[in-house]
Amino acid sequence: MFLVIDVGNTNITFGVYEEKELLTSFRMTSGTPRTSDEYGMDIISLLELNHVSREKIEGVIIASVVPNLMHALTSAVIRYLECKPLIVGPGVKTGIKVVTENPREIGADRIVDAVAAYEIYGGPVLVLDFGTATTYDYVTADGSFAAGITAPGLRISAKALWEDTAKLPEIEIKKPKSILAQETISSMQAGLVYGQIGQTEYIIERVKKETGISDMKVVATGGLGRIISDETDKIDVYDSSLTLEGLRIIYEKNRK
């Protein structure tokens, strides 16, 4: 068995694999500061709650966009799981060539998603990740990461509404019954969700137009991606495990 870890700005997502099968997954928040011992005990507890013995973990791979917590997390993995983790970054085999102007600026999470989408669904493919930020990444037919678009995520936009205005409340992000809202909460939900749908459809169409590839595959992932993908026919596939699958694929490419 091996453990894959996706460190995002909001959550840390863990997945336990046996070969190509995802046995279980679990999360913890990434915004809470922890020592290496706290990470270690939390990881072991979560593994045991999911009926996985730490002795069975033979390898670990980590992709992170939060540098500040990596020292404590990697130290925890080394001490408590007795594994030296593979960190997704320069020098790691991915099967994807980054051809943007500054390849090192591309986040590890975006590379991982691109790898999974290309390996599983083929290219050319546009990969959407509805996370803290909403990202759109174009991977060519030959597996090159050619371009990326970054926009505020749904949670960031919602947080800006209720933190930067005096009278707007904190709300649940969900699609309202109608875009024709008649009170504050549903009006905010309508603006957030339908605004994201509109943005998503426009960017997909614009990418297809500028690349000249009208039949490009569009694959989405991310916590709030299901809300959007259910409301548009511009997204071909919603894959909630895309990032974990990408980590699995990269781990296997570097296993030897």
Residue type, 81: L
Alpha helix (H) ranges present in the chain?
Answer: 36-49, 70-80, 108-121, 154-163, 184-211, 225-229, 242-254
Find, among 28, 16, 24, 106, the residue nearest to 59 by Cα: 16
Find, among 91, 106, 103, 100, the residue nearest to 140 by Cα: 100
Determine whether 109 is an active site residue: yes
Find, among 124, 120, 122, the residue nearest to 147 by Cα: 124
Spatial distance between the Cα atoms of 12 and 65, rounded to a whole number of angstroms: 10
Count Cβ neighbours within 10 Å for each residue of 214-250 and write b for 16 or more, e otherwise.
eebbbbbbbbbbebbbebeebbeebbeebbbbbbbbb
- Active-site entry in 109, 113, 129, 137: 109
Q: Which DSSP symbol is given to 231?
A: T
Q: What are phi and psi of 78, to 5 degrees?
A: -65, -45
> Could you please report the per-residue DSSP string of 14-37?
EEEEETTEEEEEEEEESSS---HH
Find out whether 11 and 31 touch, Cβ atoms under 8 Å.
no
| Tokens of residue 95, six digits | 């099967």
11, β-bridge pairs: 29
Positions annotated as catalytic residues are 109
